[in-house]
Structure formats: structure tokens, C-alpha cells
Amino acid sequence: MPNVRVVSRNFMEMVAALPAAKLDDLYESPWTCQAVVRSLPPLAKQYVLRLLFVEAAVSSKSMQDWALTDALNKHRVAIDKLEQLRVLIDASERKKGDSYKLNPKLQKQLQEVLRTGGGVPREALPASFAARVPSLADLDNYATKQWEAVLLQLVSTAFTEGPSTPMNNSLAQTFQRAGLITAPKGKEPPKITDAGFQFLLMDTNAQLWQIVREYVASAEDRAMDSADLINFLLELGFLNVGEPYNLNSLSPMQQNVIKELAALGVLQIQAGTKDRWFIPTKLATNLSASISEGSTAPSGEGCVIIETNFRVYAYTTSKLQAEILRLFVRLEYQLPNLVVGSLTKESVSTAFSSGITSDQMITFLTKHAHPHAASKTPVVPETVTDQIRLWENDRNRVETTPSYMYKDFPTEETYEAVVNYARDIGALLWDDPAGQRLIGRAERHEDMRNFIRRQSAPQRR
């Protein structure tokens, strides 16, 4: 099976992995505090609200009594999550975990938000700018276009012809750090990895979080404080979509971040004769929401119809959608607004070789189903889903191992000596005493060959 690197599922998992001191620094920002609370499981949110104005420590037994007996597992999950994020800190004097209290910094910020209503982090520019601000529809189109351009650069590395245009250096480094593409070797261009193939089939929220996660992870390498960067990213998530905000009022670090996010379609930058401003898109709202709360629906309306004869029709003008389908569908022809292809054993097996699983293919086809197909149950015909899974089972049932066959030994004693040597070094895969043949692992071929030469060489007296 392909070796795929596991990454944090969402932004808060990365935040929880920060050192305690760094995590406490994050809670100086009310926007980070609100984003953390949003990411919590429902029961954990209830515990935060119960403790919000409680200054004294609360025993763990008292907190356990808040949950019903059949909900104790959810209670433990909630407590673990709160401890990981240092929302709850250990206030015990004797036994660890005996009592807890809210993190004082987070508690103070949340109390102030509750008293004042929160509001937005920054004031939008005056209404006089409204005539120059794009409509929400235009802003959505901009965000989609920018994000598709990013993914097209990634998907172009999946094919032998390579990228049609040079990849942005900053973006290429982010893809490499995330393990989505390989590092270039000499004149050989970077190639997409197994993790990269799986990344292309994720929903937009998960993709965005993984890119932002790597961006934050490399903050120290770019002379940025990771806590300041995280605070600013989460603050952006609370701005109003479609409203202009003054770019000149930001620090140099924040202005650089804005430029990077604009390339992803999270923001749009505009400039007048004197001032510059940025406008958050819908993608920006994902910066302050957990994946579980964000929409998992694909951007745009579904377009794919699959027939029981394995024919695939995609009513789309998006080049990205066509290129992603090309990963596991044999494309036959493409019209300006229609892509036609077929699911074949060869095309699906190629996708399996790249680390894409049957469940990921089926999930992608289901999420991007045309409304006419989505209204049916099941969305993807069972004959198609069953066959995809059978093809995957056939592939996984047989495991290939690079190997060499050795035969035509001069004597039976030589054959037996070679078999014993292969068994001792862990190279033996199969032997046939009657035919005096054996098969050994390819990585031990040099050792096997040298041993056979020594056995076959004439003995000196």
C-alpha cells in the first residue's frame, strides 16, 4: 500500500500541538479565543460556558456529574479536547486531574466578548468605497478562479508532460513541505505524490486548512512569529465578507500575509489613487471555523452524471474539474461545456497506483453529482461503486515483490547451501528442491550473487 503522510485534520489540531507558553500567548486575542471555542465539540462548549464566570477550581468529579452515565465517553472526549488546547488547566494541588479551572487569559477575553457583543476586529472603509467594491457574485467568481489556479498547478504535476507554466516559488515550497509534490531533481520537474493525489479529492475547506497549516508551520523560517501569524489569520476570519478594509493600516508582516492569501483567493486586493484595501471572500470565513462546522459541499454546482455502463458525463466549463476527473476516468472527448469519459479497470488502477482509494473516488463523484443525479438514491449506481471496490480488492489481494530467480546449480550441495544462506539473510521468497530453483528478494541480489560465486569457485588446495 502507498505510504501517505498523515497531517493534522484541521487548524486547531496544529494549535493544540504548540508549546504551552505559545498557546497561552494566543489567548491574548479575543478572536483566537472565539475561534477556539467554535472548534470545540458541543459538550466542551457547554463546559466553557458553565465555567466562564467561575473563578474557583472545580473538581473533576463535579464536572463528571454534569454528564449522564451513558454520555461519559463524550464527557472524557470533551475534557481531553479542552486540556489539549489549554482551555482547561490543571488546578490540582495533590493528584493530577483532580480539579480544573478555565485558562485565565481565555476566560478574561471571553467575558469581555460576552459583555460587549464582540463586533468585528477592524472597521470597514466608508460607504464611499462601495461603488468600487465588487459584488458578492463577482467576489465568489474571483475566489473560485484563484483557488482553481492553485490546484491546476498541482494537478499539472501529475502528468508526464509536466506543468504548462512555471509554478510559483512560494506555492511550490508550500506543496513540498506538505508532501504534495516531490522536490525537483536537476532538470526533472516536481511530481505529485500519493498525498497530493488524495489532496485533490478533498473538499475545499480541508484543502485550504492544509495549505494554511504548512504556511504557519514555516513561519519561523520566514522570520515571522507563529503566534502573531495565527492570531492574524483567525482575526481575518471574523471580518465581513465583501466589505473593504484598509491595507495601509496593517503592519509589514500582515501586508505580506495578505498578499499570500490573495494568491489563494481568500482575499482580493484593490488599489486607488492613494489608498489600498483588501476584501475578504467566502474562503476567509473558513479561517475561524473548524472543518466540522464549515461547509463540506464542493464549490459551485455539481456537474457529474454516471451511468450504469460506467460512462461519465461532466457538464462543466472548469478545466480543473476535467483534470481531476482525468486522474481516474479515461476521457474520450471534451466540448466547451461537457466532458465525456469512462471508468475503466486501467484508469481506476492507475489511480490506485497513485494512492487514491475507491472510497475517495466514490465520495468525489457523489459530492460533485449533477442535481439530476443527486436527487436519486444511490447517487452513484451500485453497479459502478461495487465494481470500483472489486477492482481495488483485486489489486490489494496480490502483493508484488521485486525479486530474482536462481537456477541451474552445478551440484545439489551448492543449491542447498545457497537456499540456507538466502534463508539466513531473509532473502528467500520461494524454493523448489525438485527443480533446484529459488527466488530471492531483489534488494539482497548482490549478496546472493557474491555467495553463489564463492560456492562455484574452485577450492584451492
What the block records as the C-alpha cell of 62 is: 463535579
Percentage of the chain surpassing pLDDT 90?
A: 32
Domains of the chain by residue range? 11-116, 127-288, 304-397, 403-456
Checking if the pLDDT of 82 tops 70, the result is yes
Checking if the pLDDT of 74 tops 60, the result is yes
Tens digit of pLDDT for each residue in 225-242? 888 888 898 888 888 888
Fold agreement between 11-116 and 403-456: no
Three-class secondary structure of residue 313 per DSSP: strand
- Overall pTM > 0.85: no
Q: 1.10.357, 1.20.120, 1.10.10, 1.10.3470: which CATH number matches 11-116?
A: 1.10.10
Give me the mean pLDDT over the 18-28 stretch. 88
Q: Is omega for the bond preceding 244 within 30 degrees of 0, making it cis?
A: no
| Region of poorest pLDDT, from 26-30, 173-177, 368-372 | 173-177
Checking if the pLDDT of 94 tops 70, the result is no
Say which CATH architecture domain 403-456 belongs to: 2-Layer Sandwich (3.30)
Q: Give one DSSP letter per residue of 168-204, joined into a string.
A: PHHHHHHHHHTTSBPPPBTTBPP-B-HHHHHHHTS-H
Tens digit of pLDDT for each residue in 97-114? 688 999 999 999 999 998
Report the alpha-carbon distance of residue 5 to residue 183 in Å, rounded.
16
b/e map 61-79, b = 16+ CB within 10 Å: eebeeebeeeeeeebeebb
